[in-house]
Structure 1
């Protein structure tokens, strides 16, 4: 005979295959059969409801019905519903639910993932002050921010062009013993490049590489474009060479940035050398590369 564990597996499979309504149908059968529900199955029900965009029903079950089902929600149960609310751009409702959870003082309490979820939700909705307030609050409540928390905050500040504040958060996290990762530095570099602050971007780039971290290709391209824009194509080429020396394969966009930089500065010989290296390294879409080369030759002639 089927047990609650069997149905739990079936419901979880439904969630994973994005068929939440079928998972809920299986739960209906569980109720009709009178099987005793456990917290794992109840949490899977929450997943199914959230996946079916029925988050309000999930909130109701979390707060009122799980006790009727004979189980107590755990942190995973709360985090599923909180994330669904934030995904629905209802981060304030998620914060209200977080407050209720804190006041219950039950067997579990909000963790760093919980706070990260709501903080990220506020940032996505443009509620920077609410997100920053929650950032400071979590530390006061004994939940230290981790690299994800800091990176989320720094990313939002960079997008808001508040680079001074982003820099303060970066220094704070290092002071607190939280090691920045690729994401942290990438958003800082991109933020500086967006504002044309290539000197600061260069400092951040060098700090990143000193710690053994490698910027992603988007950040490399953004940084090189910023250098070329400020007439420092030679320096951009040095960074380009250092990237390829470490085994990173440049894409067509990066080649275009460098070719255009050379064209703008009238460096015809460097353009020829770069194009030849593209061919010898087997860069894909050679015809596209030729188009890039020709367009930049035109730029050189018109200049």
Structure 2
């Protein structure tokens, strides 16, 4: 059955006068400077005529329009339309002028999120004001609509992300008029965090006081934000007072709390206190994170306390509290740079033995260090252990170790390592095979060398007959 034409509303391309039942202002002219979301490809509104837009709406919307109908139209037809997508707010406002239509939380939420995501924050403010004047039908009863607070929270977060605090506070006041009871702690945290982020910590403290006056209980996120704010404003003592306060109020610190405190201690060059805080984490059963260890290791290394880092990491490893995700390549790199390669090797071996396998980067750094001091045997042993533990090295490091073995007359061992590497996923290339052919040539192993050349042929690593003849001649095969 063909759809009925929507003839009641005036054309959308001229300003629409609101009905007497709504306080929504008439829509402004289309703003061609608005940033469209990545999924949209908008053309200039000047190419959109009144008749085209009216016909498009009439073909998809019926006379007795409901909120569900409008939401479906906005999501499925208008949102991805190449010509009309940027006119979603005009359609939203136009629908509000229909006597038989009333927006609900579904259309409000879609419009608020769309405006926020596309950075049309001026329009977002006007829509929030309209929601206050025209609450969701769910609020007609005793209780307010349960979706009102999440809608405003999304808008407040969008304002805070770009530092529009006046708009965020205004939206907060509007939300307070609509919701039942006290707002969620998360909304206060969003505002306080944004004040800290943009260097307005005093305003953040004022809003924290308001939170307390509103009898909203702060959580661990609130205290973490305050601690970070005090550190950023160089008020170290007050940060510690907040840490004490949160424990007095029965709020258990989490890993973020301790990481913030450790970073603050290190910033003040209070390394002993920072390390002590890490051990307090362990005692409280909070557990070290990889970020905690990075803060400790990087901070101590930057201050030249490499020996303290070694003792700390080994102690964590022996206590079985070193996170398996922590990559201690920075410590190994620092030791190797200072010529302490053997110490670095012993640290890697002990931590590995305790269940914390090193990363490929850590092993590569250590292998390079061992090769520089001429310890080919340890480099080969480490490479062999890496591969058996399925830690795949890069092809350059792998070929370098093979080259060292071949140069020292151990081409058979190098070839076995090549086979192991192939099975474990090492990218073996023509360089690898040329190294082995050269090694077998020097050792006079014609049969083994010919097998490598034949394999190179199978893998199409030999580009022409001249290259083949050169390899065979090097092996002494005519």
Structure 1 position 83 matched with structure 2 position 160: no
* Equivalent-residue separation in structure 2 for 1:290 and 1:138 (angstroms): 56
Aligned to 1:290: 367
* Distance of 1:58 and 1:225 partners within structure 2: 43
Measure how far apart 1:118 and its partner are.
1.1
Q: Is the Cα contact below 8 Å between 2:335 and 2:343 reproduced in 1?
A: no
Query: In structure 2, what is the equivalent of residue 255 of structure 1?
Result: 329
Give 5+ residue unaligned stretches, structure 1: 298-303
Contact residue 192 and residue 207 of structure 2 kept, 8 A:
yes
Q: Distance in 2 between matches of 1:240 and 1:296?
A: 25
How has the CA–CA distance of structure 1 residues 283 and 64 changed in structure 2, closer, same or farther, with 3 Å as cutoff? closer
Q: How far, CA to CA, are the matches of 2:331 and 2:70 in structure 1?
A: 56
In structure 2, runs of 5+ residues without a counterpart are 1-61, 140-144, 375-478
Equivalent position of 2:91 in the other structure: 28
Q: Distance in 2 between matches of 1:151 and 1:207?
A: 17
Please say if 1:213 is aligned against 2:283. no
Q: Does 1:60 align with 2:126?
A: yes
Out of 242, 247, 258, the position equivalent to 1:174 is 247
| Counterpart Cα distance in 1 of 2:226 and 2:75 | 33
Q: CA deviation at 1:67?
A: 3.5
Query: Residues 172-199 of structure 1, C-alpha deviation per residue, up to 9 Å, x if partnerless?
Result: 1111111111111111112212332111
Deviation at 1:97, TM superposition (A): 3.6
Q: Residue in 2 aligned with 1:301?
A: none
Q: 1:48 aligns with which of 106, 111, 114?
A: 114
| 1:139–1:284 Cα change, 3 Å | same
Q: 1:271 deviation in Å?
A: 2.5
Q: Is contact 2:345-2:366 (8 Å) kept?
A: no
Higher relative contact order (CA 8 A, sep 6+): 1
- Pick one of 212, 218, 221 that aligns with 1:148: 221
Match of residue 4 from structure 1: 67
How many residues get paired?
290
**Are 1:11 and 1:27, in contact at CA under 8 Å, matched by a contact in 2?**
no
Q: Which residue of 2 aligns with 1:225?
A: 298
1:99-128 per-residue CA deviation (whole Å, 9 max, x = no partner) reads: 4554x4764553312211111111111001
Aligned-pair CA distance for 1:46: 1.0
More helix as a share of residues: 1
Judged with a 3 Å threshold, the aligned counterparts in structure 2 of structure 1 residues 220 and 140 are, in CA distance, closer, same or farther, namely same
Distance in 2 between the 1:174 and 1:125 partners? Answer: 27
Give the distance between the partners of 2:124 and 2:218, measured in 1 at CA: 28
Secondary structure at 1:270 match in 2: helix
CA RMSD of aligned residues (A): 3.9
The CA distance in 1 between the partners of 2:256 and 2:273, in whole Å, is 17
TM-score, with normalisation over the residues of structure 1? Answer: 0.77
Using the TM superposition, name which of 130-139 and 22-31 deviates more. 22-31
Deviates more, 1:71-80 or 1:46-55: 71-80
Distance 1:261 1:168, change over 3 A: farther
